[in-house]
A and B are shown apart, each in its own frame.
Chain A
């Protein structure tokens, strides 16, 4: 479209100058005159009836301005919204129960807020928490997913009379026939346990009510500023134009900040208006372990039916999904699990059934991967076990089952999280697998290196797995592109940014159309005053959906530019081109006009315009894809296991990734490297441990281990670009990809390294301790 290339280049990030110099605004950087500070009293019990709360002593403490309990909220006390309605699946059971701002009748998980203290400082507010006298009557807790459904189990939400939050069956083809015709059935039980999102920046909210302007401003670490704005306006009885929500720079979201509405997000704006003082609450790390949503406990009973030559005839999977105390996010996670399980494979028959269970644990909403890793883990593990039983090489069994490039679009029939049928838009899986085999040196490793190292007493192993990832779902996002009289370009979109590089990639998208230097394109995200339509940053969709909207808006502006330039230069539009912030005549480049000058002409101060003329070089566009685009990839790793300590070192990590057209390889690689770090954490370090009373036993980074830089190798990457036909940029999402297949690859690699122990790893996360037990048990049973 332009003479210079802006796509596919490694442009450094527009936002980094601010971030690296400490000039980026985060929520905690907001300091306002007269600002008060908020602390929350949270339930120690996971399940307990609330009998009384006495706040008199707290109110009397010097420096305390207000203390609120559920009763003080009056009609403002409402359960949160159901964010995602369940898809229209026949026979679906869905019992909704959404979170409340402050506990009224009982606590349903440890850390649920009971009271809110507003004080002159956070120190005073925290001291005042101790003054509050709470009487609670502890109840038996629901922790175990299977016990939760027993008839004598305590019930968390009495109105439903059961801990069953949902029951869904989806089918493709006829699994029973596949089962009858199969030469081999591989049947196993798999566990995948909980972890935190672990963003560097915890959550935070600052709320300010300006009584003169009658305007509420909220700085929030949310991934969804526009829905927060809309919801607050409705709850507080304000016009949407009276509420401005700003999600400034945010230090990582990973999904838990897409959850709405957290109690704190509802309570601070309300109290700020009541008190007519600005309020600040910044979550501390310990609160984060209890009060910020988490993910990942599922138990799968799965079987794979295969022909003698290793072709998949069908999959049967029945699983339990832990949604914690509430289910505001509907069925997104378990549906992702059932849809991602099919992977890049041709699976003609599929029976998938799940039950979602309420438990007395922190609420579950999507965290990077959002259920996809479970599906990948189950499928890839089943393929590994099948390969072993059939005596087929593990790469070969995958090759035999991959969809071919002629199979697209491929309809898997069952419904995806966006309520549309699971249709893969495009893909090219075999070359990705072959490239990964090549990059990791699979043949040489298996033939020479591994035998040589084994002979020397070393336990090295290789893991290689394929996956797909549904990305870039709707409904829509929008963007506005404006050329200013200075010639600089403003781009505004509604999605928030949490470190992905939106300021750079959206600028590239616009530059590709307008040919303006990247440092003259200024991107604003996540400020509802700048752009006020949209949904948020989630589901690996920022560039796919908001990026496409930026593109469409830029194309509309380009049209205006060319029309004006044609008039100004007296040359037909077809004979013009954009270059370096100017429009010039193709055959006579010295005849040119600056974009800034055209912007001035587009906003005349006197004279007349043709009726219907819109002022300015500005356009707003919206983009909503028919359905999500399907990214894919292969992860391969080589590990060495110390058989005495069960410590695992990842020696090499290869990712071959296909997220469609790559706009900025550096940003894509950054997403993958970070995702792999997250995945390694899930695989071997991170695990939330709850006891049978629902108490979290490792609510600090002393005991909950994040992988450190020394645990995460530099990922070797290759890109395959199979454009998506579903958006004008041909892009697919990449934000979650790195974290999805890591556990499956890790399990295979560790098994391979410990071949002599003949382990079967059917659970994630592992840990040195757990792996040690498995090795010990394997020895004992031989």
Chain B
């Protein structure tokens, strides 16, 4: 599955980039994210618990490896997610461009999806993943605005030292897919 698109942030690239380093912010933007740990320099492991309606699923483990990182321009994520209802594997590329005084994010994820999600979720995968990607990005944009206004959300939101990976946007995309499973289950 290809998920691609653009999203405008009303903030300079550096602000967006910094935001994308912050796991706590991202965890809040991602529904169901329980844990995001950095296990190596450019390697992260997360765990999701997602409930949709009456269905609560077991944990999904997600591993993200970052490569080709050029601050504050671009990075590539290699994603592997596994859970009882299926798996997703693939790569995602995120680029930040200056645009009209703000930032235009371009993203393109090429994800292979397998298991129950692939088998019964096709009709929803496309539209739901697009919708949820957008919702996640909008949540990030709100956080950008909050930061510009000097307000922070999340206990650790001001910790650039954590050097969190942009990966989370992609993680978001991966997770979207996982969430779909639950809708179908």
Contact = CB atoms under 8 A, between A and B. Distances in A.
A598 B46 CA distance: 81
B87 interface: yes
A130 B122 contact: no
B89 interface: yes
Given A130-B58, A130-B84, A138-B89, A44 B114 contact: yes
Contacts of A703: 120, 122-123
Interface stretch (A25-33, A154-162, A690-698): A690-698
Given A45-B114, A110-B115, A702 B123 contact: yes
A697 B119 contact: yes
Given A44-B86, A138-B89, A695 B58 contact: no
A290 B86 CA distance: 14
Given A44-B86, A138-B89, A693 B112 contact: yes
B92 interface: no
Contacts of B123: 702-703
Contact of A700 (B86, B89, B115, B120): B120
B91 to A, nearest CB: 14
Interface in B84-103: 84, 86-87, 89
Contact of B113 (A46, A289, A695, A699): A695
B147 interface: no
Interface string B65-86: 0000000000000000000101
Contacts of A290: 119
A118 interface: no
B17 to A, nearest CB: 32
Contacts of A603: none
A411 interface: no
A45 B87 CA distance: 9
A110 B86 CA distance: 11
Contacts of B87: 44-45
Given A130-B58, A138-B89, A696 B118 contact: yes
**How many of chain B's residues touch chain A, expressed as a range?**
10 to 19
A293 B119 CA distance: 16
A691 B118 contact: yes
A700 B121 CA distance: 9
Interface string A125-160: 000011000000010000000000000000000000
Given A44-B87, A45-B87, A138-B89, A110 B120 contact: no
Interface in A223-266: none
Contacts of A699: 116, 118-120
Given A138-B89, A693-B112, A698 B119 contact: yes
A341 to B, nearest CB: 34
Given A44-B86, A693-B112, A702 B120 contact: yes
A126 to B, nearest CB: 10
Contacts of A693: 112, 114
A688 B92 CA distance: 28
Interface in A685-722: 691, 693, 695-700, 702-703
A42 to B, nearest CB: 9
A195 to B, nearest CB: 15
Nearest to B115: A44
A431 to B, nearest CB: 48
A673 B75 CA distance: 59
A53 to B, nearest CB: 14
Nearest to A694: B114
Interface string B111-141: 0111110111011000000000000000000
Interface string B133-154: 0000000000000000000000
Interface in A399-455: none
Nearest to A699: B119
Contacts of B84: 129-130
Contacts of B118: 691, 695-697, 699
A289 B118 CA distance: 12
B114 A110 contact: yes
A577 B123 CA distance: 67
B62 to A, nearest CB: 15
A41 to B, nearest CB: 9
Contacts of A700: 119-120
Contacts of B86: 44
A323 B114 CA distance: 21
Contacts of B113: 695
Contacts of A769: none
A12 interface: no
A699 B181 CA distance: 13
Nearest to B86: A44
A252 to B, nearest CB: 22
A512 B50 CA distance: 66
A286 interface: yes
A691 B112 CA distance: 9
B114 A697 contact: no
Contacts of B114: 44-46, 110, 693, 695
Contacts of B115: 44, 110, 695
A677 B23 CA distance: 55
B170 to A, nearest CB: 19
A349 B89 CA distance: 51
Contacts of A138: 89
A695 B120 contact: no
A289 B122 CA distance: 15
Contacts of A286: 116, 119-120
Nearest to B82: A44
A286 B116 CA distance: 8
A697 B89 contact: no
A226 B135 CA distance: 59
Nearest to A110: B114
Which interface residue of B58, B112, B114, B116 has the most chain A CB atoms within 10 A?
A: B114
A130 B113 CA distance: 18
Nearest to B89: A138
Contacts of A697: 118-119, 122
A695 B111 CA distance: 12
| Interchain residue pairs A-B with the least CB separation, the first 3 | A699-B119, A44-B115, A695-B118
14 contacts: A44-B115, A45-B87, A110-B115, A129-B84, A130-B84, A138-B89, A286-B119, A693-B114, A695-B113, A696-B118, A697-B119, A700-B119, A703-B120, A703-B123
Interface of A: 44-46, 110, 129-130, 138, 286, 289-290, 691, 693, 695-700, 702-703
Given A130-B84, A697-B118, A703-B122, 11 more contacts: A44-B115, A45-B87, A45-B114, A110-B114, A129-B84, A286-B116, A286-B119, A693-B114, A695-B113, A699-B120, A702-B123
